Structure 1
Amino acid sequence: MKALTERDIRGSFVNCSKGEAQRLALPRDLAERPWEDLDFLGWRDHTAHERAYLVVEREKGLVGVAMRLVPTREGFRASLCSLCLTTHRGEGVTLMSAPKAGKAGREGNSVGLRMCADFGCSLYIRGLREPAPGGGRIKESLSVEEQVARAQENLGGFLERLRS
């Protein structure tokens, strides 16, 4: 992924107003992100823990999504991220709920995605980050490039449901 600027990020959101996009809290460490190893930018709002954001490069440009973390009562069992297929114990995988774009979202319709709560999917796939004890990666025969393509396809499906 190419390094993004504040302007890039704020202009990419499809499921919130321009005013909301201007007010949202950006990550404090944009300059330190490992951009060359990221397939998307994801972060939790440091001013409101239940809010999170995702920005993805697509063929037609950037797509930003405002989301809410859905509280879960999973205890200490392991859960699987639907993007990178990494397992985490406890709250390492969370359900993210996003209002749909346009009229459907204003009417209260949303879509959900279970994903790594730390948005580390790209780094887990590439072996650059390890899940906390009790979590892990599924051993599979796909190459890293094929795993990246699958994660991007899974994320693309989420974005399509968001816009439909």
Structure 2
Amino acid sequence: MKQLTAADVRASFVNTSLRERKAVTLPTKFDALVWTDLDYLGWRDPKLPNIGYVVTNLADAPTGVMLRQNDGRTRSRPQCSWCEDVTLPNDVHYFTARRAGPAGRAGNTVSTLVCANFECSANVRKLPPMAYTGFDREAARAKRIATLELRSGRFVADLNHTA
């Protein structure tokens, strides 16, 4: 992911009001982020525990969305829809986000299951276990990284689609 400034991040949100954008609390240690290790920037708001933010690159421009964690519990341990890590070291939560524009103001939303603290970029960079003799673990890792970029980007693009 390309390095962003705090102003870039705040200006990128497509499904928030101006007041919500100004109130965004940036991730801790924002200035120390290793941007090359991120497929998207995702974090939880420390002041609002049920709010999360995701910023990704769409059409070579940063595009951000605000998500709200649903309160309900699932019956079994869900799998993250973005990284699809089956050995998750973290919880997965159900998040809902308003669509951008008039659709969002009318109450239309999109939901997904995502790692609780948006750890997907770290999850896909772990070398997968040897599946069979001759399995190319590096190629599998590269495919997981590309797939994460695609899935997270599609989610944000779907929210940004205002037609």
Contact 1:43–1:118 (CA under 8 A) maintained in structure 2? yes
SS of the equivalent of 1:11 reads helix
Using a 3 Å threshold, how does the CA distance of structure 1 residues 42 and 127 change in structure 2: closer, same or farther?
same
Q: Which residue among 146, 157, 162 is the counterpart of 1:160?
A: 157
- Residues 40/103 of structure 1: CA separation in 2 closer, same or farther (3 Å cut): same
| Residue of structure 2 in register with 1:16 after alignment | 16
2:78 corresponds to 1:97: no
* 8 Å Cα contact 2:56-2:156 kept in structure 1: no
Between 1 and 2, higher relative CO (CA 8 Å, sep ≥ 6) is seen in 2
SS at match of 2:22: helix
Partner secondary structure for residue 12 of structure 2: coil
Contact 1:79 1:88 in 2 (8 A): no
State the shift of 1:60 in Å. 3.7
Mapped partners of 1:3, 1:61: distance in 2 = 11
Deviates more, 1:4-13 or 1:79-88: 79-88
Counterpart code for 2:150: E
Q: Distance in 2 between matches of 1:87 and 1:71?
A: 23
Q: Residue type of the partner of 2:44?
A: R
Amino acid of the structure 1 residue aligned with 2:114: M
| Bigger radius of gyration | 2
Task: Give the ranges of 4+ consecutive aligned residues of structure 1 lying more than 6 Å apart after TM superposition.
Answer: 88-91
Residue number in structure 1 paired with 2:44: 44
What is the number of residues matched between the two proteins? 156
Q: Of 124, 140, 160, which aligns to 1:143?
A: 140
Label 1:148 to 1:89 Cα distance change in 2 as closer, same or farther (>3 A): closer
- Aligned partners of 1:10 and 1:21 also within 8 Å: yes
* Residue segments in structure 2 that go unaligned for 5+ positions in a row: none
Q: CA deviation at 1:59?
A: 2.1
More helix as a share of residues: 2
Q: Do residues 30 (structure 1) and 30 (structure 2) align?
A: yes
What TM-score, normalized to structure 1? 0.84
TM-score (norm 2): 0.84
Partner in structure 2 of residue 69 of structure 1: 69
| Aligned residues with identical type, % of pairs | 34
